[in-house]
Each structure stands twice: as structure tokens, then as C-alpha cells.
Amino acid sequence: MKKAPHAIPYQGSKRKLADSILSYMDFEIDTLYEPFAGSGAITLASAINQKAKRFVVADKLEPLAELWKMIVDEPERLIEEYSLYWNGQLEDPAKYFRDVREIYNNTKSPSALLYLVARCVKNAVRFNGSGEFNQGADNRRLGMKPEKLEKEVRAMSRLLKGKISIKGCDFRQAISQATDKDLVYMDPPWQGTSGKRDPRYAYLLNIDELIEELDSLNKREVPFMLSFDGTCGDKSYGSDLPDFLNLKKVLLNAGRSSQATLLGRDDVTIESLYLSPALVKKTKTVSHIKENPQLDLLGVGTT
């Protein structure tokens, strides 16, 4: 598979798992929907590998959706604004980060958000109860250099311009027009963090609403994939989704976790990928798993 460009270094990105996830996209797809966009790893990998004709990216965090719009439609402006932020930090990076964080919280500037994501601890976005960005800076590094950012942004714009619709809205609204000729890929907050206030996410995900929407997609026979729980070492995140949804669950090896690495441990993250009945009917990869059940443990194409 071809390597996709990436300009938004979001923690939790499915970049490492993209090949495994794309292995289930072995049928004709009109539009790929990614309604919990983040870094959009699956959209980008799908675009560069020509897995779909069109794309819909959405996120309820509107400044993130606006950042996506800038990348695709105004790359020069984004490159210029990010470069000003990056170069402005050189004299006092710690203080400058705090100043830009205040700018973002007051203005919701997309380019300020990109700088904060690039500079913050482990690229891990955090919000307080008022929805303000409150993660601290990783003062051991300065974030993606403007020259690297320029290369990635230009590549993303060329790849997606004229093929993508970008929305700042709730996931249900984002996928309301999906049909049986499309594919929806969802990577919402993990079950272990949903249902309670969590600083990793700007908005709370209602699991009952998610299950209701998955049921609706099933009734409309819309193919979908869902990354939604997993394990890291001996810690589990969430439980299986309801049986009535009739989802096929495969486990993908995401490798050693960054947190485990920092602590000197060897904990491996295993992520669950749920496949809808409509997708199972279309993909040949599931049939391959049925013939080779050992692949069910780590998913196709993972190591």
C-alpha cells in the first residue's frame, strides 16, 4: 500500500493500522465517510490507494473541521500561519505555547490548533470542562518543522481537492446520506472513556445514540467499520457491542503502546475492529479469515 501524507499528528491516529483496515475495503466504494475525523488516517490512506471515489470527513470539534478545510482549500494560508507560530516560539517555547493556547481558546483558530497539537505532550489533545484546550507543551521538542508541514499539507490538498466534503457536525448528521454503495468508517472515543467526562475529548459520546445509529445503518444496509475498544497489556477498554447488531469482530495488533514505552514496559495494544453485516457480505477478506481462523486474532496484514 502507498504511504499517505499526514499533517495532523493526533494521538490515537489509525495510521499504523491503515493497511489492515483497508484490507476490508476490497470492493467498489462510491463515498467513504469518516465522521470522527481526527487526523483522518483512513480517509488519507484510502484516497492515496484509490479505495473510494469521494470522501466525507466530519468532526464535532468545529475548529478541527475548519483545519481540514484549510488544508484542502487554503494550503498556502495554513502554511504561512503555522510557520509564523513555529518561528515565533524559538525564543521562549514554553511561554509561547501558553500564549498560543490562550489565542486558540479565545479565537478557535484552526492554525493555532494545529500548532498546539504538534507541540503538546504526546500529541494528546486535552480539554477542560468548558471545552478549552488545556494540555501542556512537550518542551523537549518544537513540533513539526514548517518545511515538513508544507510538504504534508500540499500533498493532502493535491490528494483530496475536488473529491472531499468537510463538515463540522455531529456524526449522525455527517453520515445521514450514506447508502449501500458507500462505506462508513468510525473511530469514536473508546468505550472505556465514553459515558463520563473525559479530558481527551471535547464532546461526550452517548453510547446509546451510537448503538441506535449503528442499528439504523444496518437497516439501511450501509457497510461500516467501527474501531471502538481494545486492550493494552492487562487493561481492557469497554465490552463487546450488543449481539443484535450482528457485527463481526476482529482484533488488530497496534504494537507497543507509547505510554508503555515511556514506562519501560512491553505492553502491546490490541484494538477491536467491528465489521457490519453489509460489509461482511461484500469483502473477500472476511472469507479469507473464515478459512484461516488464526488470522482472526491479529487481523489481516498486521504484525
| Judgement on whether residues 275 and 196 belong to the same structural domain of the protein | yes
Distances (CA, A) of 293 to 41, 245, 251: 28, 22, 12
| Judgement on whether residues 145 and 173 belong to the same structural domain of the protein | no
* Residue 37 half-sphere exposure toward CB, CA atoms < 13 A: 28
| Judgement on whether residues 262 and 117 belong to the same structural domain of the protein | no
Under 8 Å between Cβ of 283 and 27: yes
| Judgement on whether residues 42 and 109 belong to the same structural domain of the protein | no
Q: What is the DSSP letter of 264?
A: T
The domain that contains 252 carries what CATH number?
A: 3.40.50.150
| Judgement on whether residues 52 and 81 belong to the same structural domain of the protein | no
User: Residue 90 falls within a domain, yes or no?
Assistant: yes
Range of the domain at 38: 18-60+169-296
User: Residue 157 falls within a domain, yes or no?
Assistant: no
Cell numbers linked to 132: 478549552
CB neighbours of 281 closer than 8 A, spacing ≥ 6?
none
Chain position carrying cell 495510521: 15
Sign of CA dihedral 291, 294, 297, 303: negative
The rounded distance, in Å, linking the Cα atoms of 181 and 142 is 43
The domain that contains 79 carries what CATH number?
A: 1.10.1020.10
Q: Amino acid letter at 140?
A: R
For residue 244, the tally of other CB atoms under 10 A from its CB is 9
Could you tell me which residues are beta bridge partners of residue 127? 133
Cell numbers linked to 173: 448528521
Under 8 Å between Cβ of 35 and 81: no
Out of 126, 152, 178, a domain closes at 152
The rounded distance, in Å, linking the Cα atoms of 164 and 145 is 27
Question: For the residues of 62-81, what is the DSSP string, one character each?
Answer: HHHHHHHHHHHH-HHHHHHH
Cell numbers linked to 103: 489565542
pLDDT of 208-262, one tens digit each?
999 999 999 999 999 999 998 765 645 555 567 899 999 999 989 877 655 544 4
| Judgement on whether residues 174 and 201 belong to the same structural domain of the protein | yes
The rounded distance, in Å, linking the Cα atoms of 35 and 141 is 31
pLDDT of 17-26, one tens digit each?
999 999 999 9
Out of 152, 180, 198, a domain closes at 152
Q: Per-residue pLDDT averaged across 128-149, rounded?
A: 94
The pLDDT-based confidence of 185 (bands split at 50, 70, 90) is very high
The pLDDT-based confidence of 110 (bands split at 50, 70, 90) is very high
| Judgement on whether residues 184 and 53 belong to the same structural domain of the protein | yes
| Judgement on whether residues 281 and 182 belong to the same structural domain of the protein | yes
So what's the pLDDT on residue 23?
95
> In this prediction, what percent of the chain has a pLDDT beyond 70?
83
Could you tell me which residues are beta bridge partners of residue 225? 185, 275
pLDDT at residue 301 greater than cutoff 50: no
Under 8 Å between Cβ of 104 and 112: yes
Task: Determine how β-strand 31-34 pairs with β-strand 183-186.
Answer: parallel
Mean per-residue pLDDT of the chain: 87
Burial per residue of 11-39, b for 16 or more beta-carbon CB atoms within 10 angstroms, e otherwise: bbbbbebbbbbbbbbeeebebbbbbbbbb
Give me the number of domains the chain comprises: 2
Three-class DSSP category at 234: coil
Cell numbers linked to 198: 473525559
Nearest CA to 182 out of 10, 35, 70 is that of 35
Q: Per-residue pLDDT averaged across 277-293, rounded?
A: 75
So what's the pLDDT on residue 203?
55
